[in-house]
Amino acid sequence: MSETVLSSQDRLTCLIALIGALAVVSTTSSLTWPILSESLRNHGYSETEISINAAAQFAGIVVVALFATVIIPRLGFFRAIVLGLGLVASMLILLPITRSFEAWFVVRFFLGIGNSLLFTAGDTWINQILDDRVRGRWLGVYSTIGMAGWAVGPIIGSQLDPETFWPFLCGLVAVGIATTLLMPARKIDVDITNDAGRASNIGKLLVVFLLAPTVLLSSAMFGVLEGGMQSFAHLYTMDILGQQFREIGYAVIWVGSLGAIFFQYPAGWLADKVDRGWLLVGCVFTLALALVAFPFLIEGGTKPWWSLQGLALWSVVSLWGGTMGAIFTVGITLLGERFKAVELVAANAVFSLFFGIGGMVGPLIVGTAMEEAGPSGFPASLLTVVLIYGLFATYRQATRRSRLARGKGD
């Protein structure tokens, strides 16, 4: 459908506008998550309470995912993204004004709705207009620039007081820039309404899940790690090294995002050259190795980065962030390969749904583990989740040929 409607120039214009806009607005998420967690701790809230508050944001993602196959075809990709930008901007205004646990719970829920509209519509739009021959490489470019946006947030956050308006004002500026970058794509929307009525909303979500459970569940694991890392990585680092190393805590998040920047194009390039399923499995177990090494190297944060201990720590953190990002890139590449039109909206919706569920559960798992086992609960809980998924993905990939022969999906 879109392949016959859009010219090469239209595709390129749309890709540049979307990639730029979604990358810039991702700064707001990587800025607000750690800032909000730190602010809540400053006001005396426990890790469990912080995780419950963070889960509200992912609950918004879940709600949008459940209705994406209805909302996005009716609005169109462009208007869905603009609605998401408007919600994110409104919530960034409300966050510093309504500084209470209960108010933030509600505001973060709507912030999650806004972010989910942005990225579900944007990821689908990009995947819809790409040719499978170069899909992995273009999605690698998308993820690379997107991760650059994620890397900016912690840099800004480490220099700003979470009790002031400044972090949220910076987020608003990012939303304004993203809106400007998006404008060239407003006349190049892709119409998928003709395919919208083939099955019920829940039916579409269930069908695509049964066709590709391995790649879609990778998003749940990604959500657990993303929610846990963004909410607690800097708190874990401060618990181990001391409050005076606050900036090192934010640096863990930043360097992880920086690692993701450099991993995404190679991951996308590989996804066009090798079996994408086995590439996903390889990324998962590489991530597990990084999580095993991380707590043994954390003291390197107190040393100069060019020392042996410093280089070891930051290399492992880069590997951690890079493989997380690669899992996302390979995952959405697999979705674009297998689904089109409204089915692709449904696949991205399920991808977002599981990311939202993982993001809700992740902070709860990590927060509870840290309360029960101390700081060591942070890496241990994340490693457990990664290994469980890794074993599942390995089994599914090893038996994939026989399932495909029986017509039972991936």
What pLDDT shows up at residue 154? 72
Write out the two tokens for 136.
């992995």
Contacts of 288 (CB under 8 A, 6+ apart): 383, 386, 387, 390
DSSP alpha helices (H): ranges in 43-76?
47-75
Here the CATH number for the domain that contains residue 51 is 1.20.1250.20
DSSP alpha helices (H): ranges in 242-340?
246-271, 276-297, 308-338
Q: How far apart are CA 152 and CA 63, in angstroms?
A: 28
pLDDT at 223 over 90: no
Return the higher-pLDDT residue of 2 and 170.
170
What pLDDT shows up at residue 291? 92
Q: Is residue 410 part of a domain?
A: no
pLDDT at 183 over 60: yes
Write out the two tokens for 237.
């680092």
Contacts of 297 (CB under 8 A, 6+ apart): 309, 312, 313, 316
Return the higher-pLDDT residue of 293 and 228.
293
Q: Could you read off the pLDDT of 366-377 as tens digits, one per residue?
A: 888 888 888 888
Q: How far apart are CA 355 and CA 333, in angstroms?
A: 16
Q: How far apart are CA 271 and CA 16, in angstroms?
A: 21
- Helix-strand-coil percent breakdown of the chain, rounded to 5? 85, 0, 15
Q: Could you read off the pLDDT of 307-364 as tens digits, one per residue?
A: 888 899 889 989 988 898 888 888 878 887 887 766 777 787 788 788 878 877 888 8
Q: Could you read off the pLDDT of 29-85 as tens digits, one per residue?
A: 777 877 888 888 888 888 778 878 888 887 888 888 788 878 888 888 889 999 999
Mean pLDDT, the chain, rounded, equals 82
Q: Is residue 2 part of a domain?
A: no
> Rounded to whole angstroms, what are the CA distances from 229 to 84, 126, 193?
24, 27, 38
Task: Characterise 81 by phi-psi region: left (phi > 0), alpha (psi -120 to 50), beta (else).
Answer: alpha
Name the domain count of the chain. 1
What pLDDT shows up at residue 292? 93
Q: Could you read off the pLDDT of 329-341 as tens digits, one per residue?
A: 888 788 878 877 6
pTM value > 0.75: no
DSSP output for 323-392 = HHHHHHHHHHHHHHHH--HHHHHHHHHHHHHHHHHHHHHHHHHHHHHHHHH-TTHHHHHHHHHHHHHHHH
> Where in the sequence is the domain holding 393, given as residue range(s)?
7-405
- Is the dihedral angle over the CA atoms 60, 61, 63, 69 positive or is it negative? positive
Counting Cα atoms < 13 Å in the Cβ hemisphere of 257 gives 26
Write out the two tokens for 90.
């409104």
